[in-house]
């Protein structure tokens, strides 16, 4: 899949815009279906995330859903547009392939970003929609948002990445309880469980999310990207290997023009102007 410049492609299931300097926003645009994902949406999400990744002028990503009712309610099982392509019906192991090429690929693409991402959650974020939100670095939720895993209600699984993501955010026992009992939580409860980074009044959701994204976009891009990469990897490797990562990273960051600008700005008591060089 070849990525085009962010915002240049007209998608059928997404809206893409740049709401602030250095900030990209992807909006799931199936509000009538509570932004449940179709196979077409997963393909467009992969293209949009890749376009954001490859644009050095974009430094932070906001992911959200259109309308008031939902961020995303998982795969579309309504009988309308399918969550998977026709290959499922014809291939002996088609369901696995379609998961790999569909929402699992989106979750991996978000997790692999070395730029920060924020899920802006209004309404329901459940099942695969919760996994999609958890694939982002931060989750800001409106007070009236509802989060949980409802996949088990219809005999489905946390197969979009939830089985890995939920226990790491909540702990294994709480993740099992949520998934096996198909629990849905209000935003404050979800924050207490570790699923949400910050809860704000409904009216403050977009301003607060964009404020945070804009602040991230003003930070030194090399430092942000290297710091995120180091911290994500640190959860999977030893302290010794993490320190080696740090040694490699400082060889990129410390001699950079951004560090020279940052120190100069500090001494001149002004805001630094980082260019990612």
Alpha-carbon gap, residue 65 to 72, rounded angstroms? 6
Q: What does the pLDDT look like over 235-259, one tens digit per residue? A: 999 999 999 999 999 999 999 999 9
Provide the pLDDT for residue 175: 98
Q: How confident is the model at residue 1 (pLDDT cuts 50, 70, 90)?
A: very low
Provide the pLDDT for residue 188: 98
Give the residue-averaged pLDDT of 204-224: 97
8 Å CB contact between 274 and 262: yes
Provide the pLDDT for residue 43: 95
State yes or no: pLDDT of 11 exceeds 90: yes
Q: How confident is the model at residue 98 (pLDDT cuts 50, 70, 90)?
A: confident
Higher pLDDT, 47 or 80: 47
Tell me if residue 254 falls in helix, strand or coil: coil
Provide the pLDDT for residue 89: 59
Give the residue-averaged pLDDT of 198-217: 98
- Count of CB atoms within 10 A of residue 112's CB? 12
User: What tokens does 185 get?
Assistant: 């939580």
User: What tokens does 124 get?
Assistant: 């329901």
- In sequence order, what are the residues at sequence separation of 6 or more whose Cβ sits closer than 8 angstroms to the Cβ of residue 119? 63, 64, 71, 125, 132, 133, 134, 136, 138, 139, 140
Q: Which domains does the chain have, with CATH numbers?
A: 14-218 (3.90.226.10), 221-268 (1.10.12)
């Amino acid at each position: 899949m070849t990525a085009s410049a962010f915002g240049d492609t007209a998608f059928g299931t997404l809206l893409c815009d740049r709401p602030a300097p250095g900030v990209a926003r992807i909006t799931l645009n199936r509000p009538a279906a509570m932004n449940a994902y179709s196979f077409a949406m997963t393909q467009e999400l992969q293209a949009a995330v890749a376009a954001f990744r490859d644009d050095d002028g974009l430094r932070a990503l906001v992911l959200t859903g259109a309308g008031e009712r939902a961020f995303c309610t998982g795969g579309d099982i309504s009988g309308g547009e399918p969550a998977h392509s026709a290959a499922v019906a014809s291939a002996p192991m088609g369901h696995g392939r379609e998961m790999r090429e569909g929402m699992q690929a989106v979750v991996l693409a978000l997790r692999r970003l070395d730029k920060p991402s924020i899920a802006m959650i209004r309404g329901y974020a459940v099942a695969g929609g919760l996994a999609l939100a958890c694939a982002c670095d931060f989750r800001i939720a409106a007070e009236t948002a509802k989060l949980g895993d409802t996949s088990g209600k219809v005999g489905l699984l946390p197969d979009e990445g939830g089985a890995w993501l939920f226990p790491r955010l909540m702990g294994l026992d709480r993740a099992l309880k949520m998934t096996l009992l198909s629990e849905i939580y209000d935003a404050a409860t979800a924050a207490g469980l570790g699923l949400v980074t910050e809860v704000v009044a409904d009216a403050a959701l977009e301003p607060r999310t964009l404020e945070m994204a804009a602040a991230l976009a003003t930070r030194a891009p090399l430092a942000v990207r290297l710091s995120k990469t180091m911290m994500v990897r640190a959860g999977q490797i030893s302290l010794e290997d993490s320190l080696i990562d740090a040694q490699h990273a400082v060889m990129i960051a410390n001699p950079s023009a951004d560090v020279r600008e940052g120190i100069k700005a500090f001494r001149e008591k002004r805001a630094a102007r980082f260019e990612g060089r």
